[in-house]
Structure 1
């Protein structure tokens, strides 16, 4: 998709929520509100140990796995929920084994189209970046949101599924952003 809108030229961070029972069991979660596992809670708590070189503005998907990761990982900090950061609606495929996931470019019955999701993610990221003001926007979201973002920053591929609870930094460089993992 070469005709996608560009994101604002500023740094931001995306963090996929901690592990869920659906991740562990290889189930398509989509918009299902699945809980963090014990490992997912531990992954989220480990975010407290990270050091940031500037003040943060925290945003999260309204799904409980993202909200829980934000609350555990950033205790005492205000988290703004943004519906545009939610995972893709996989329609009739939600709750099924991951092996049954349809092609990304297909629109699942009762679900959200891939291009529609990418445009939703663009709007959500742009809004969060504006609302963050001078602070670093940190958004706790989902694998699908990260994959859509990779196309929005100019990558030709959505890449591998992002690891759980690992901050990914996006920094502007020339006419695109570069993705790097948070340095400990």
Structure 2
């Protein structure tokens, strides 16, 4: 599926800090769960990093992403983008991760993987176009990062990305490379 048109520029994806659902191995796609103490510390640590001077910060509307953005980029404006929300796992929300269905399956009352991929492609393309030459920094979720990998890197979703770790997606030839920022 990685034949999607490349975004017009490089971008950075950051999975939110650790949440109570992450710590308890619970599925919490659209379930609003708070950051743990560790998650808040992870987010605050991002504020100590050296960032490019010109960044445009976007966040998922989920509270865990917004909280991470506020702690990581204190006193900086960020824009919410609904396309950065995590996948809706339907009837599996709140269940143990061990019960999570295959990614390609559409859970009852949930969002299909293909629908999510299209949503992510649209969101990241729109954000990159609107960033006016600034590096887009998107505070989002594991599923968003995995969809970006499918769309523009190896075509494989890969392992769950670590919490609060900036990942730079940068164009090389006809695909994007993912690397720590």
Q: Flag the 1:154–1:6 CA change in 2: closer, same or farther, 3 A.
A: farther
Equivalence for 1:91: 90
Structure 2 runs not aligned, ≥5 long: none
C-alpha distance in 1, partners of 2:52/2:95? 41
Return the alpha-carbon distance in structure 1 between the equivalents of residues 77 and 53 of structure 2: 16
**Helix, strand or coil for the counterpart of 2:169?**
strand
Deviation at 1:9, TM superposition (A): 3.9
Matched position secondary structure for 1:155: coil
Runs of 4+ in 1 over 3 A off after TM superposition: none
Q: Superposition pairs for residues 15-30 of structure 1, below 5 Å? A: 15-30=14-29
- How many residues were matched structurally? 181
Q: Distance in 2 between matches of 1:79 and 1:100?
A: 34
**Which secondary structure state, in structure 2, belongs to the residue aligned with residue 49 of structure 1?**
coil
1:72 Cα deviation (Å)? 0.4
Q: Tell me if structure 2 keeps the 8 A contact 1:41–1:72.
A: yes
Q: Where does residue 40 of structure 2 map in the other structure?
A: 41
Give the drift of 1:131.
1.4
Query: Residue 18 of structure 2 aligns to a residue in which SS?
Result: coil
Report the equivalent of 1:117.
116
Aligned-CA RMSD value? 1.0
2:8 and 2:125 in contact (8 A); partners too:
no
| Partner SS for 2:171 | strand
- Unaligned 5+ runs, structure 1: none
Question: Are the counterparts in 1 of residues 32 and 62 from structure 2 also a CA contact under 8 Å?
Answer: yes
How far does residue 54 in structure 1 lie from its aligned partner after superposition?
A: 3.4
The aligned counterpart of 1:160 is 159
TM-score (norm 1): 0.96
**Are 1:26 and 1:97, in contact at CA under 8 Å, matched by a contact in 2?**
yes
Tell me which residue corresponds to 2:55.
Answer: 56
Give, in angstroms, the shift of residue 110 of structure 1. 0.2
Q: Cα deviations across residues 56-107 of structure 1 (Å, max 9, x unaligned)?
A: 1000000000000000000011100000000000000000000000000000
SS in 1 for 2:79: strand
* Separation (CA, whole Å) in 2 of partners of 1:107 and 1:14: 25
